[in-house]
Amino acid sequence: MSESTEKAETAEKAEKLDAADELAPKRAEFALDDVVYLDGNSLGALPAHVPGRVEDVVRRQWGELRIRSWDESGWWTAPERIGDRIAPLVGAAPGEIVVGDSTSVNVFKALVAAVRMAGEGRDEILVDATTFPTDGYIAESAARMTGCTLRPVTPAEVPGALGGRTAAVLLNHVDYRTGRLRDLPALTAAVRAAGAVAVWDLCHSAGALPVGLDEHGVDLAVGCTYKYLNGGPGSPAYLYVRRSRQDAFDSPLPGWNSHVDPFGMRTSYEPAAGALRGRVGTPDILSMLALEAALEVWDGVTIEAVRAKSLALTDFFLECVEAYVPDGSVESLTPAAHEERGSQVALRCPDAGEVMKRLIERGVVGDYRAPDVLRFGFTPLYVGFADTERAARVLGETLSR
Amino acid sequence: MSESTEKAETAEKAEKLDAADELAPKRAEFALDDVVYLDGNSLGALPAHVPGRVEDVVRRQWGELRIRSWDESGWWTAPERIGDRIAPLVGAAPGEIVVGDSTSVNVFKALVAAVRMAGEGRDEILVDATTFPTDGYIAESAARMTGCTLRPVTPAEVPGALGGRTAAVLLNHVDYRTGRLRDLPALTAAVRAAGAVAVWDLCHSAGALPVGLDEHGVDLAVGCTYKYLNGGPGSPAYLYVRRSRQDAFDSPLPGWNSHVDPFGMRTSYEPAAGALRGRVGTPDILSMLALEAALEVWDGVTIEAVRAKSLALTDFFLECVEAYVPDGSVESLTPAAHEERGSQVALRCPDAGEVMKRLIERGVVGDYRAPDVLRFGFTPLYVGFADTERAARVLGETLSR
């Protein structure tokens, strides 16, 4: 088969896959142009109805109702209300998630709380040695401030590293660099069996694949909302606290928003019941209500359908890369096995920074991680198969020069 | 003089004061209706140009430029850029303030850093016993996590309580309840002389009166931006770190945004130089850029002019209350002496909750703090003397019934 015939057939296949895609109509709910946007694993695209909603928050809720909006516009209860909206996407129940603060701040809350839950005599924190750096930095601080030692291990080494001293284990559901999906059920079970507490970072999995927090016995989890959840730049993160662990959740950041009677202005601290005790200070309402509006694109969507399309997209992308990209010019770091794959494809490529710059000039937007990794994120709500084919084609042309 | 003559003369005086007010034109820069808004010490009014700016951030910066905005729209550098915009309002230099996170989270950063700066052998934290509750709760956590004991004292007791064990002292510049202004220069000097580190909470002073952080030798300070700085509901707080103390600032929340090379994705933490090391995670861009836009109302305004008008407003309000309100029905908790007064008037009044409800129904918006305090905040950029007269008149009528 000639190269041009092969490309024509691949393009035709993309067209068929798009025609059969039940999620395809969702794309119209986003503000998108003719760019192939494969960076939704870093900053999700704008849902088209969000600007109007934000304008209402600013002009009417802030500008006209002003202080009354804390009650009348539901500002005060936004952290738990939006948490409940995220809950079904990660397999949590109502009342188990609060939204607020950054992921880093939530990692600190969760990890310190985990050490306190684990109890006396446990003084070691295990942290994923391949983690996104901030988790490692914050884990170091949490260890320092709780009198623990910090031990970096690869996720594969975790079961062997667990012991009677292990207090907490901080893990990433999907590796930000390679896109590798970790075995959350098995690792959580191992951590629990050792009497320790697992904290999962869901930044690169929530909104892309089923997480099953309740089902798999996870105690604590955190995640951001600006990637697959399309909450907007720096939109607030969230904290999950398993129902049965909530009474034991002892926050290192016991701000007044987590008090049982916040407007009682009491001198002594008494935490609220439930996930509410993960709240800290006054919530950043504009960012938070933009997120709330953005979450409406999930109406009528199951995370299982998203996962099925995500795998089909990444399979197809790898197939197109195989067909279009000169042999030996890239190497996939993303596992071939579905059960080990998140929703991005990472390709090792010399000169990745320069290559990505050229792709972006040609309307294919991904990103890269130093020194040599091209990252392509696949967001099933708005990326299609023709987009995927085009991205691989442009990559192939760029690398053929 | 008859009561009606007195009221007519007071109203006439208000008119003259408004006519002579050099800040009066600023009011037109805010989205205001015919309500007398005296709750700007809780949530500042909306600057009229902010909605258009937020719309641009959402539609163009997020919606069209997407991920490119981190560089091209200056998102990444917003925390320090906006910090530099706040700096002159509180007497700080460029590079001493970063914006981000809530006030509670910043109190935690500052207080833990203060204990670490104070050094070995100092294991007591003094906290203002009359503080806004969250500062006390967070101070308790900071003490617990740094091995310190926490000792609540009134600000007046601080000089006598300082000693060789004192590590840090957390103080409020203006009392949220009574509006009392504390003597920041004298208290800071006392704390420094004892070898301890003062942390000032500026929530109720920044934007209302001169603070003089650099001038008075303050080491660390925090504050919110949604009161007198009009940043919007839950807009991000800020952290001030004195230039000479920045190298010693050791954050308990060393997120990747504070790393010297954040995109180097390094395993080990190395803090950036300067106030940047107060950053933590990804900044909440929508809330942050709304704040940045809101700060433009300060163009051409000096904080000294604001202070002069603030004192004139609160003087006039107390005068009107004296003239209009039945004897004995309220008692001012706000000091008569200018050097002890912030920018609010607190009146003790039985049934304050019900009284405030009636005032709001008649278009005079203040708030109350349980059990018996009416709070009226005076924001010189948009509150005038006729507003002030009307507020006292409506209060008088309400209490005369």
Q: What is the DSSP string of B96-113?
A: SEEE-S-HHHHHHHHHHH
For an interface test with A, which of B77, B102, B116, B250 has the most A Cβ atoms less than 10 Å from its Cβ? Answer: B102
Are the CB atoms for B358 and B398 separated by under 8 Å?
A: yes
Q: Which residue out of B30, B226, B228, B368 is catalytically annotated?
A: B226
The DSSP element (H or E) to which B322 belongs, if any, is helix B303-324
One-letter identity of residue B245: R
Q: Does A283 touch chain B (CB under 8 A)?
A: yes
One-letter identity of residue B30: F
What is the model's pLDDT at position B112? 98
Q: What angle do CA B314, A282, B55 make, to 5 degrees?
A: 90
What is the model's pLDDT at position A97? 98
What is the model's pLDDT at position B8? 86
CA–CA separation, B264 vs B327, rounded Å? 68
Q: Does A73 touch chain B (CB under 8 A)?
A: no
Q: What angle do CA A22, A44, A104 make, to 5 degrees?
A: 130
What is the model's pLDDT at position A5? 84
One-letter identity of residue B39: D
What is the model's pLDDT at position A370? 84
CA–CA separation, B252 vs B271, rounded Å? 12
Q: Does A160 touch chain B (CB under 8 A)?
A: no
Among this protein's residues, is A201 annotated catalytic? yes
Environment class of B5 (CB within 10 Å of its CB; exposed 0-12, middle 13-18, buried 19+): exposed
Q: What angle do CA A70, A72, A74 make, to 5 degrees?
A: 60
Tell me the ipTM for this assembly: 0.96
pLDDT in tens, B82-115: 999 999 999 999 999 999 999 999 999 999 999 9
Q: What angle do CA A109, B231, B98 make, to 5 degrees?
A: 55
B238-241 vs B220-223, strand pairing mode: antiparallel
Out of B67, B134, B254, whose CB is closest to A138? B254
Which residue of chain A is at minimal alpha-carbon distance from B46? A63
Q: Which residue out of A21, A201, A219, A367 is catalytically annotated?
A: A201
Closest CA to A127 of A186, A168, A165: A168
Instruction: Count Cβ–Cβ pairs < 8 Å, chain A vs chain B.
Output: 252
Closest CA to B288 of A225, A372, A285, A123: A285
Give the distance from residue A255's alpha carbon to the nearest chain B alpha carbon, in angstroms: 5
Q: Give pLDDT < 70 ranges for chain B.
A: 1
What is the model's pLDDT at position B1? 58
Residue A75 has pLDDT above 70, yes or no: yes
Residue A145 has pLDDT above 80, yes or no: yes
Q: Which of residues 13-72 of A touch B (CB under 8 A)?
A: 31, 33, 37, 39, 42-43, 45-46, 50-51, 54-55, 58-59, 61-64, 66-67, 69-70
Q: Does B200 touch chain A (CB under 8 A)?
A: no
Percent of chain B whose predicted confidence (pLDDT) is above 70: 100
| Per-residue three-class SS string for chain A | CCHHHHHHHHHHHHHHHHHCCCCHHHHHHECCCCCEECCCCCCCCCECCHHHHHHHHHHHHHHHHHHHHHHHCCCCCHHHHHHHHHHHHHCCCCCCEEECCCHHHHHHHHHHHHHHHHCCCCCEEEEECCCCHHHHHHHHHHHHHHCCEEEEECHHHHHHHCCCCEEEEEEECECCCCCEECCHHHHHHHHHHCCCEEEEECCCCCCCCCCCCCCCCCCEEEECCCCCCCCCCCCCCEEEECHHHHHHCCCCCCCHHHECCHHHCCCCCCECCHHHHHCCCCCCHHHHHHHHHHHHHHCCCCHHHHHHHHHHHHHHHHHHHHHHCCCCCCEECCCCCHHHECCEEEEECCCHHHHHHHHHHCCEECEEECCCEEEEECCCCCCCHHHHHHHHHHHHHHHHC
**Cross-chain Cβ contact B46/A58 below 8 Å:** yes
pLDDT in tens, A346-387: 999 999 999 999 999 999 999 998 889 999 999 999 999 999
Closest CA to B66 of A236, A386, A40, A392: A40
pLDDT in tens, A278-325: 999 999 999 999 999 999 999 999 999 999 999 999 999 999 999 999
Among this protein's residues, is A375 annotated catalytic? yes
What sign results for the dihedral spanned by CA atoms B294, B296, B299, B303? positive
**Region A102-112 average pLDDT:** 98
**Cross-chain Cβ contact A54/B50 below 8 Å:** no
Distances A222 to A83, A87, A171, A296, A392 between C-alpha atoms, Å: 11, 12, 10, 21, 33
What band does A1 get if pLDDT is binned at 50, 70 and 90?
low
Closest CA to B150 of B107, B103, B202, B91: B107
Q: Which of residues 130-159 of A touch B (CB under 8 A)?
A: 132-134, 136-138, 140-141, 145-146, 152
What sign results for the dihedral spanned by CA atoms B263, B264, B270, B274? negative
What is the model's pLDDT at position B370? 84
Q: Does A104 touch chain B (CB under 8 A)?
A: yes
Among this protein's residues, is B227 annotated catalytic? yes
Residue A223 has pLDDT above 90, yes or no: yes
CA–CA separation, A163 vs B156, rounded Å? 52
Q: Which residues of A touch B60 (CB under 8 A)?
A: none
**Cross-chain Cβ contact B75/A285 below 8 Å:** no
CA–CA separation, B299 vs B269, rounded Å? 38
Give the distance from residue B99's alpha carbon to the nearest chain A alpha carbon, in angstroms: 13
What is the model's pLDDT at position A132? 87
For the whole prediction, is pTM greater than 0.90? yes
Out of A33, A138, A235, whose CB is closest to B284? A235
One-letter identity of residue A200: W
Percent of chain A whose predicted confidence (pLDDT) is above 90: 94
CA–CA separation, A189 vs A193, rounded Å? 6
Residue with token string 């008149």: B393
> HSE on the CB side for B198, CA within 13 Å?
27
Q: Which residues of B touch A59 (CB under 8 A)?
A: 31, 46, 51
Residue A329 has pLDDT above 70, yes or no: yes
Mean pLDDT value across chain A: 96
pLDDT in tens, A238-291: 999 999 999 999 999 999 999 999 988 888 999 999 999 999 999 999 999 999
Edge-first strand order for the sheet with B373-377 is B331-332, B344-348, B373-377, B367-369
Give the distance from residue A262's alpha carbon to the nearest chain B alpha carbon, in angstroms: 9
